[in-house]
Amino acid sequence: MKLIFATHNLHKIKEIKEIIADSPKYAIVGLNDVGEYSPIEETGLTLVENALIKARFIWDKHGVPCFADDTGLEVEALRGAPGVYSARYAGESSSYQDNVDLLLKNLQGVHNRKARFLTVIALIIEGQKYLFEGEVRGEILLSNNGTGGFGYDPVFRPEGFSQSFAEMTPELKNSISHRGIAIRKLIEFLTARVDSAK
């Protein structure tokens, strides 16, 4: 089954391909692979709304099974920020490091470092929409640690681990991450759907 993944984020595509590597039935193609080079405007106020906007845009144009991932980092002491604005926390064209720097600045002297990553995946298949969520709890470190992963990975340490996401192998991050949890739910759903149609 070919699935269009409505993202321009090559890190997300890499992670998802690694996560589903043992489910060879599913071929994932990103937006660049189907000639969609312009950004899809994320005008929603929640992760669910933005995931649906991205998936719906591609379904309406291409009419093939597609899904989108909207992810946010929610920091307790910042009342859930950056949340839905995680990609543009330090401004519209900010880099990953700009966002991390602002986060560390806003948490200077703050003792409560609790945070969570939340991924919402919206799938559209035959015009019907389905949602899948994945969450991982942890804390924001005092400075960058590690060079792997992307985004806020160097400053996020998941609960029960001594390393940041950026210090982990991709396999370890994928096995416990918000995105790993949500994608495995998506694959289980698709597999059960195919099996029940047999």
Q: What residues are annotated to the active site?
A: 70
Q: Is 152 in the site for ligand ITT (CB under 6 A)?
A: yes
Among 59, 66, 71, 182, binds ligand ITT (CB under 6 A): 71
Nearest-approach distance from CB 84 to ligand ITT, in angstroms: 8
Q: Residue 91, by phi and psi: left (phi above 0), alpha (psi -120 to 50) or beta?
A: left
Contact string 18-37 vs ligand ITT (x = CB under 6 A): --------------------
Exposure string (b/e) for 124-133, b if CB count within 10 Å is 16 or more?
bbeeeebbbe
Q: Is 94 in the site for ligand ITT (CB under 6 A)?
A: no
Counting Cα atoms < 13 Å in the Cβ hemisphere of 153 gives 20
Dihedral of the alpha carbons of 177, 11, 2, 190, in degrees to the nearest 10: 10
Q: Is 145 in the site for ligand ITT (CB under 6 A)?
A: no
Among 179, 180, 182, 183, binds ligand ITT (CB under 6 A): 179
Nearer of residues 157 and 179 to ligand ITT, judged by Cβ:
179
Return the structure tokens found at 140: 């924001």
Residue position matching structure tokens 């899948």:
132
Q: Is 9 in the site for ligand ITT (CB under 6 A)?
A: yes
Amino acid letter for position 152: Y
Nearer of residues 96 and 109 to ligand ITT, judged by Cβ:
96
Q: How far is CA 192 from CA 1, 25, 68, 147, in A?
A: 14, 13, 20, 37
Among 132, 153, 168, 182, binds ligand ITT (CB under 6 A): 153
Q: Is 81 in the site for ligand ITT (CB under 6 A)?
A: no
Contacting range for ligand ITT; rule: CB under 6 A; set: 18-26, 55-63, 69-77, 180-188: 69-77
Q: Residue length, the chain?
A: 198
Tell me the residue number closest to ligand ITT, measured at CB.
Answer: 151
3-state SS assignment for residue 123: strand
Residues that bind ligand ITT (CB under 6 A): 7-9, 12, 42, 69-71, 86-87, 96, 99, 149-153, 165, 177, 179
